[in-house]
Structure formats: structure tokens, C-alpha cells
Structure 1
């Protein structure tokens, strides 16, 4: 079927994460017409695939559609994908998603053209198409929450990289100790171990004994969100938040110097929702450390789409890969 024959059709977008899966019907103008959400099945790859097939069939039934009415389908997921085939090599946060031809199984069951994308790339595509990056030709999307990931748009094109992992910024080495044996740094990446939620909590715990008056002593447990909430009330919280902003700024300064983007979009539970506190400090660190001309021109903003970035990006990837969008 030619792109002209499918150009007015909607696509199915799937955002598959470790805790939830969203299946949506999306128009070429970016309207989410319908969506379903469920907790992610973590009982193995086969059952996970069957869950999504069932959800898509439910979408068809609820909207009185069949495969002939749909241009294609794209799934954004946290997985390593084979370069030219979308074969799932490994999904570390998806139990049993290893060495699976998921696209082939979906196509056989649903009768659709099916594509897979690394979820950092779908988030970037979403922000570029319908979010804070709309109208820019070069954009970097950095997602900081329980982990750190992202995606890159350069000169109007998604940069996937040799192994389709471009944008895995959590692996930046923001340290002068190349012999460090810290387990979290080795497992998830050094920058992620410092600026993502679990790392912020751990740095706060490490510093807590030196701040006996801290309000955090009254918490049975606390998260990075609690630390940010106490920014104006607690000396330890203020110290940790300012250190976090500086560490973020160093990583983002490297991105600015290497890629010279027009705009950097910060998403995730920390990058997006704590922007009012973080952005002024981040900008000052970037101006101090990044290539001066690039640092002067780059724009920093918080995500407009939030957790919907992945759905919009999966939809846009489907439009690109079916030839409807460029």
C-alpha cells in the first residue's frame, strides 16, 4: 500500500514500560482519539506480547475498526533492538523480553505493519512533534526520573546510533576517578547514579548524619521528591538540590558542547517537575562549562508532554516509517 493510500489513516501507538503499558489511537494531526492503560504483564515475553495484542483488539472493537483502517503501529519500549529488523535483543526492565521477534509476532496476530523503537527515542520524537521541541531542527530530550535517558534530533532527523542506543546519557562519566568501583555507577551509569531519583536519595542519606537538625530525620523514609519539597525549609535539602542542579549542569554542558543543539528539553519526574528550582542553576553551570557560543544560544525548557511524550513519539515514528511523515 502506498503512502498516499494510507496518508489519512490513524496509527496505533504503544508505550510499553516496566510498570504500565498504554495503547492509543493517534491521528496524523496529533490527536489522541482513544487510549487504554494497564499494568505491564511481567510474566514473560510471550504473555507480555499477548497482553498488547488483546489491548489492540479491544481498541479495534471499541472504535469499530479493523487492520485495514490503520496505517501502522509502533511500540516504544526500554529495550536493545537489532539495527535493521526491530528484533528485540534484550529488554532489561521487561521480564522475558530477550531474543524475540516481537514485531513479527504482532504483525502475524494483528495484520498490521509493526515497528519498534527504543523508548528514549520515542520520547524525543514526541517532544519534537507535539511538545516543547516543536519548530526546532536540532533538539535533545533528556529524561531524568528513576533513571536517565534521552534522544537526539539533529538537522531534522532522529539519531539512533549504531546500536540504536544514542541518547543514553546516564552513562556519562562525571568523575575524575576512573577506578571507582561504585556498584550503582557500574550498573546504571555514573551520571544516572548521581542525578536520578535513587541517586539523589542515596546522596541525601549519606549526608544526613552531618545535619542533625534536618527535617528529613523525622521521615520514616523519603524520596527525591521529598528532598525537593523541602528546598526552601531545610539546609540539607537545599544543599542536595543545588548539588544535583550542578551535576545536571555538567552533564548538559557536555551535550551542548558536543551537539550544539538549539534546545534541550528536560523530562521525567525530576527533569520536568522540578524545573523551576533546577533550571536557573543548570543554565549558570552550562554557561560556565560548555562551549561559549553554543552555551549562549541553547534554550532549556521543561517537557510539555510529560508521560505522554512516549505515546506521541511512537505515533510519529509509525507515521515516519510508513512514509506518511518525513
Structure 2
């Protein structure tokens, strides 16, 4: 995570610097991926255990990893500043357009362009495009020195829209729109209750815990103690949770990934295009609207990320764990993690080169 993870969680300052853990993040993630693949391939009991620990298509160990990952980041949010974010109509409207109009439409188009004769994988990709990110985006945003309060607000808005719009958009993109275009149609049945449960687990629990930590910590010990003593202690757990989750994801599907490399490559290509297009669209939109670097990067990462937990759960529940739709859902995070880690570094470069801003301090820099 940024220095907010392992040093200070206060507003950007000249002393906020990347920790050793953060500087070597690509290496840790790469090792976690390899470890997961090896576990899934050579220790099948691990993947079997993960399957037995699923409830309604949701892996309990993976859920625990995600909660551990999200809590420290949401504990760092200054909730007293959120009102200023909700008044930024440019940010809110552009986020809604990118997430709920542009994102699903782009994934629909890419799925049909790249996978016209593979309906199972195509459907799985469309489902991934409908599931907007409410979890891991807080990590990417924090690594890129984005606006934490803005990220919390946008994630909350995505959660509300997810409960309301996911089923409707699934019906539109899998049944109605293909019918209008004379293409194959595929139904999707998913209950609002299942989506709401997903949102409650992956956003509600860590959000309440983070808010309660700041409220109680500041009242009892003061803000200085909370940000200079408490947060540095819990901050590194965000990275531990991320790496733990990556290991489990790769262990769970490692056998399929290794056994079907051609299929994985076919699925990965449109995903690569999708993540890149959505991220750059978000950053360019923020710049064009005159948003700061911090809010522009937040807009970019919330637009590019996807809720792979929901996508995988929906694919498994609707089509089965061994289905092509489920494999497409699993490939989503396997591609998203390394790509968005790379985009974190692109974002930090763009802060100086394009926004003329030091991403760490928030101060203006000369060309």
C-alpha cells in the first residue's frame, strides 16, 4: 500500500513515502500467483478444501482475505470529509456514466468481437462487465495516492446501483440487446437478495468496521494517535489480505488455468483491452473535467475495476462451477490484478508528467 499503509495515514505530506513492502509489490504479487498455481496443481487437497468451504458459490476463505484487505484502507478514510466529495457533481456523474453505461457496453462489444463463436466465455465476460468494483479498487486507489474519501463514496454508490441494476442490465445485455442485433441470446437469473448479500459482505462489513475504528479511536485517543500509531500498525494487513486472496484464487482455479491455456488466452485478450480502455477513459475524463490528480485517478480505478466476487458467484450459481462462464469469471481477477498493478505505476507517472502534481504530497511540480 502507499505510505498510508505502512507509515502515515494523514493527508499527503513530504514524509509520506512507499515502504519496502510497497516498492516490491509486483514481486510479492507475482510470487503469490506462482504459489497459488503450484498449490492448485500439486496439492489438490487445497482446492478441494476451498470448494468445501463455499456457501452459495462464495468461498469463505477468499471472503476473509478480502475483508482483511479492505479494512485497513477503509479505516484510513476521513469520514468527516465525505460531504465535500458528494458535492462534486462532475466526479459523481462521470463515475456513474463510466461504470454503468460505458463499462457494460464496452465489455459487451469486446465479448462479441473477440469471442463470437464461444458463447459460454462470451456470457462470462459480459457478467464480469456488469459487476462493478466495490472491493479491490480501494487497494489500487490507495497505491496510486488517489482520493480515499472519493473512493469510499464511489464504491458506496456502485454498491447501491449494483443491487438495483445488476439483474436488469444482465437481462438487457444477454437477452434484449442481442435479440435486437440478431445475435444469440442467453438468459441470466440472479436474485436481488444474492447481490445485496455480496454487497453487504464485501463493502458493508469493512466499511462499518473502518468507520467505527476511526470514531472510537479518535474519541478515546485523538486523531494524532489514531493516524500516527494505530493506522501504521493495521495498515500492512491490507497487503497481507491481498496476497492471501491472490494465492487462494490461483489455487482454486490453477488446474483449469494450466490445463486450458488457449482458452485462458482467448478470454484474457478482451479483458486486457477492457481494463486499459476503461482506466485511460477515466483518467482522461477527470483531466478534461478539471479534477485533481487524486480524484482523476480514483475515477480511473473505479471505472476499470470489477467485482469479480459477484461475477464468479453469479456464474457458478447460474451455470455451474465447471462452466465456461465460471472460467471466464475466474480469469477476470487473474488478469485484473497484474494489469491494474501496472496501471498504478502508470498513474504515478501521469501525476507528474500530465497533472504536474507530486502524487505523494499533492503539491504542484515544475515540468
Superposition TM-score tier, normalisation by shorter sequence = under 0.3
Higher relative contact order at CA 8 Å, sep ≥6: structure 1 or structure 2? Answer: 2
More helix by share: 2
More strand by share: 1
- What is the TM-score when the length of structure 2 is the normalising length? 0.23
- What is the TM-score when the length of structure 1 is the normalising length? 0.25
